[in-house]
Amino acid sequence: MTRLLTCKQFLQELNEFLDESLDPQIRAELQKHVSECPNCWVVYNTTEKTLKVFKGMEAKPIPESIRSRLMEALDRKFKAKGGKCGGSAEV
Ligand SMILES: [Zn+2]
């Protein structure tokens, strides 16, 4: 069973994806999305790096401020492109 994720869904799960507690199946789907969607890969990569910096200081999930900033940045990207990214399941 393959359930393709939209970028919005990916971003909603991103917090948990970077956490170790995520369900392995969902994790695999997110991994798949990242490998197919350059936009989300960038977000994932940036967030992961940011998270590592934060974790070096204190053990915390992604701060909401950073998360919403990433969401906004991605949103603008999509609008600038005038379409959906390659990883989207929209037909
Ligand atoms: Zn995506």
Q: How far apart are CA 44 and CA 91, in angstroms?
A: 24
Q: Residue 23 — φ and ψ, nearest 5°? A: -55, 130
Give the Å distance between the CA of 60 and the centre of ligand 1. 24
63: how many CB neighbours lie within 10 A of its CB?
A: 12
pLDDT for the residue numbered 1: 41
Residue 19 tokens, joined: 């956490």
Give the Å distance between the CA of 74 and the centre of ligand 1. 9
Running along the chain, 91 residues long, what does each successive block of 10 average in pLDDT?
76 84 88 92 88 67 79 84 56 49
Whole-model pTM: value is: 0.55
Give the Å distance between the CA of 12 and the centre of ligand 1. 11
Domain boundaries, the chain: 7-81
Give the Å distance between the CA of 41 and the centre of ligand 1. 7
Give the Å distance between the CA of 77 and the centre of ligand 1. 11
Which of 49, 26, 41 has the alpha carbon at shortest distance from 86?
41
